[in-house]
Amino acid sequence: MKKKFLLGTVALASALVLGACGGSTEKTADSGSDTGSKASQEMVLSTFGLSEDIVKSDVIKPFEDKFGATVTMDLGNSGDRLTKLANNPNSGIDVIELAQANASDGGDQGLFEKLDEAKLPNLADLTDGAKEVFDSGAGVPYTVNSVGIIYDSEKVGEITEWADLWSEDLAGKVAIPDITTTGGPLMMYIASEYAGVDITSDNGEAAFEALEELKPNIVKTYAKSSDLANMFAAGEIEVAVVLDFAYDIVKGDSETMEYLVPTSGTYANYNTMNIVKDAKNKDLAYEYINYRIGAESQKSKVAALNEAPVNTTVGLSEDEVGNKTVGEIADRAKMVDFTFVNEQLNTWVDQWNRLLNN
């Protein structure tokens, strides 16, 4: 089922640089010293609902203990939480964690505080790609993920490249992320690349033509990656396009599920943090963001949350690297222009729904 994969002209992202881990001390946001300040405040964090218990135990509790703080979590998917904030800027949220596209959109709407780099000393340790995202105004990245293909090798054999998704052998066997999800715009880039067209040159026209060609193979466009596990188990699908952080959830106990990042490349998404413009606890919010990108916190989340670090001082073993967007995978991860995506998104959603969700 191999076809020649036509590369687009999207520029390669900066690779993640991995340094030695351990021995370094955390720089606190207020003074750059090694001792955390005891803030004795409350903070509201708007974040993803995935792995809530792990987030509480491995992210929130260590921060609360270090800074004498109490954190209340507001949970939901990225797009819904941004919409809620836009409709109620006085919601009481202090820090909001979003997918890159939503963070870029929120920044353009003026919903976030202009961040003071002097209060975030750990910014200096971020990878070049993460710094590029920060400089774009999308917030402070705390992890990076990318998109790949998960498939049941026992049922479909070997898949080696994106173009294989279009093979007639996969008719009625494929699921792709819906356009309204984090992975949706990445799927648009993949389809445009399959067509051999830079997506920014035609605003996605060739991508939709490629998706129409792919349609006979698509069983469903999905909104939650957690739903894929049930779809695979029920035999509804045998192949799916998925973000790497969801691989373990989808794979479960299966011995035949494989995850592939084609050598031709992938597309990156950074999850970022922002302080809401009308936040009531901005000092503590700065402490949280700086803590979250510090080496100690970044390292502890690698195993707990399957998060790829964006701090260059965090080193990973071969087992820890796994399918994360680090090393060779990061080297071939391409940046998505989410400002461009957001400009097109309403049109894309309408066209996508008419083509694939009817």
212 contacts 355 by C-beta, under 8 angstroms: yes
The pLDDT value given to residue 264: 93
Beta strands, E only, 126-238: 140-152, 174-177, 218-222
Better-predicted residue by pLDDT, 45 or 307? 45
The pLDDT value given to residue 226: 80
Q: What is the dihedral of CA 268, 2, 355, 231, to 10 degrees?
A: -70
CA-to-CA distance for 218 and 211, rounded, in angstroms? Answer: 9
Domain spanning 42-144+270-311 has what CATH number? Answer: 3.40.190.10
List, for residues 259-293, the tens digit of each pLDDT value. 999 999 999 999 999 999 999 999 999 999 999 99
For strand 266-275 and strand 333-334, is the pairing parallel, antiparallel, or unpaired?
Answer: parallel
124 contacts 17 by C-beta, under 8 angstroms: no
List, for residues 65-112, the tens digit of each pLDDT value. 999 999 999 999 898 999 999 999 889 999 999 999 999 999 999 999
Options 2.60.40.10, 3.30.530.20, 3.40.190.10, 3.40.350.10; CATH of 145-267+336-353: 3.40.190.10
CA-to-CA distance for 199 and 180, rounded, in angstroms? Answer: 18
Whether 42-144+270-311 and 145-267+336-353 share one fold: the answer is: yes
The pLDDT value given to residue 84: 95
54 contacts 245 by C-beta, under 8 angstroms: no
The pLDDT value given to residue 302: 85
Domain extent listing, the chain: 42-144+270-311, 145-267+336-353
- The DSSP symbol for 105 reads H
